[in-house]
Structure 1
Amino acid sequence: MWIWIIFIICIIIFLALDLGVFNKNDHVIRSKEAGIWTGIWVTVALSFSGVIYWLFSENLVDNPTDLTPGTAVLKYITGYLIELSLSIDNVFVIAVIFSSFAIPAIYQHRVLFWGILGAIVFRALMILFGVALINKIDWIIYVFGVFLL
């Protein structure tokens, strides 16, 4: 449990640094700056594989499937790269939304940040309440399935 708490604290620190320190003043983010920050955050994410290796090699996490540290790292990097590639369509959608609402380039980072933060909060709430509903009402899973269809 403490590992999840540390992980969530790290995410909060990274989000606070992004908006409160590195992008405190609104400015237009050019391709060069975006590329540098993308490189930094991808490096941080891939460096986390070292933490995963350490956690699995020291048996600091539950390991019901008996993953080796190398396999756990491989699964993490595979999942990360899949999520990274799947997020490319979001860039297109964000560009369409920004142009549709005529959001000035100077405010796009702030709007994007708060939009992502809102999506994280609402996703967590949906998962929390969805699990609570499934635990209370067995047949609600069919309603969720129809909703997804």
Structure 2
Amino acid sequence: MNVTGWAWTATLIALVVVLAIDLLIIGRRPHEPSMREASGWVVFYVGFALLFGAGLWVFVGGTAAGEFYTGWLTEYSLSVDNLFVFLIIMSRFAVPRKFQQKVLLIGIVLALVMRGAFIAAGAALIAQFNWVFYLFGGFLVYTAVTLLRHGDEDGDEFKENILIRWSKRALPVSSSFDSGRLTLVTSTGRRLFTPMLIVMIAIGTTDLIFALDSIPAIFGITKEPYLVFTANVFALMGLRQLYFLLGGLLERLVYLNYGLAVVLAFIGVKLVLEALHTNQLPFLNGGEGLHWAPEIPIWMSLLVIVGALGVATVASLVKAAVDRRRELSRV
């Protein structure tokens, strides 16, 4: 797939325009969006992604469109998992609802910047070293096992990392969010940081951790940097509104981690098989590819991902309904 500089430029300009509109809306009137507003934006962004994929199908071909849709769905599901942690962070630091949009938008911008850097680094590594797929695949399988092992643990067990603890200890932080800015001036003229800064640090470090999972996963779907980047962009767009649209539903998706574990394990195995098929390691089969290793087609990847996430979602909602009936029967 040959992507011209004009295509990259147009994509980046469109991204900046959409982010500017989001910033303008929040900057003019910080608020908690209504269900109608949130659902409208989510439908818009999902429709935009589907339209973009259709454009790829028409102008580039079905393979590129299939890789984009599969990558977008994978990244979207992983981004929804981000929302669980964002929800915990908001609750832990008692962020007022009217400021949560601002936190989410900044978190999304940070995620885009970090993922952009990881995409560039990953593309450069892949271009030079085929064996990096072994590392990516092994890391994804390890992550999947970790999700399975900790799937039943309480999600409220958010552990503050060393940077958050240092910031709370070393920086002069007020107890009030004030107007939602990072700093405020007291009546005595002293400038203090607001808890918003600590929240931003928590969101930023969380974005970094999630980028370590998502970038190897998307490279397991496609090696084309443009598709990797756009799949990530469309997965993150609308995430802010999705947070408010899902609301309490997030807490009911108790089996989502298991679905994500299946997806990550599948992509991890797919990467290792592809690395074996195109092997260049001199100590393995004399540096020749192992042609017995099957190549998993994109349609099968899409089927497995949709199936795993669909089963996890339905099972979660069924469990929530059963638990609710039990609680009502006890009253």
Normalized against structure 2, the TM-score is what? 0.34
CA distance in 1, matches of 2:111, 2:75: 16
* Runs of 4+, deviation exceeding 4 Å: 125-132
- 1:12-36 CA deviation, whole Å, 9 max, x = no partner? 1111112214773111123332222
Matched residue, 1:78: 70
Q: Deviations over 1:125-149 (max 9, x none)?
A: 45667888x7xxx9xx8xx99xx78
Task: Give the aligned residue type for 1:122.
Answer: M
Superposition RMSD in Å: 2.7
Would the alpha carbon gap of residues 70 and 36 (structure 1) be closer, same or farther in structure 2, given more than 3 Å must change? same
Cα pair distance change 1:51/1:23, threshold 3 Å:
farther
Is 1:111 the counterpart of 2:103 in the alignment?
yes
2:26·2:102 contact (CA, 8 Å) conserved in 1?
no
* In structure 1, C-alpha distance between the alignment counterparts of 2:62 and 2:71, rounded to whole Å: 14
Alignment of 1:123-138 (within 5 A): 123-125=115-117
Q: CA deviation at 1:42?
A: 0.5
**1:94-148 residue CA offsets vs partner (Å, 9 max, x unmatched):** 100111111111011111111221232234345667888x7xxx9xx8xx99xx7
Matches within 5 A, 1:1-149: 1-21=5-25, 24-56=28-60, 69-125=61-117
CA–CA distance in 1 between the matches of 2:120 and 2:49?
26
Structure 1, 5-14 or 25-34: larger mean CA deviation: 25-34
Distance 1:103 1:12, change over 3 A: same
Q: Which amino acid aligns with 1:102?
A: A
Shift of 1:49: 1.2
Q: Deviations over 1:62-97 (max 9, x none)?
A: xxxxxxx12221221121112212222111111001
Q: In structure 2, what is the Cα distance between the partners aligned to 1:90 and 1:26? A: 22
CA deviation after TM superposition for structure 1 residue 45, in Å: 1.0
Aligned mates of 1:110, 1:22 — CA distance in 2? 7
Taking the aligned partners of 2:120 and 2:54, their CA distance within structure 1 comes to 30
Secondary structure, counterpart of 2:29 in structure 1: coil
Amino acid aligned to 1:48: F
Residues 31, 99 of structure 2: 8 Å contact kept: yes
User: Looking at CA atoms only, which structure, 1 or 2, has the larger radius of gyration?
Assistant: 2
The normalised TM-score by structure 1 is 0.70
Change (3 A) 1:48 1:24: farther
Distance in 2, matches of 1:43 and 1:23, equals: 25
- Does the aligned pair in 1 maintain the 2:26–2:101 contact within 8 Å? no
Counterpart Cα distance in 1 of 2:24 and 2:51: 23
2:52 & 2:15 partners in 1: Cα distance? 12
Q: 109-118 or 25-34, which moves further after superposition?
A: 25-34
The code of the aligned residue for 2:65 comes to V
Distance 2:122 2:69 in 1: 28
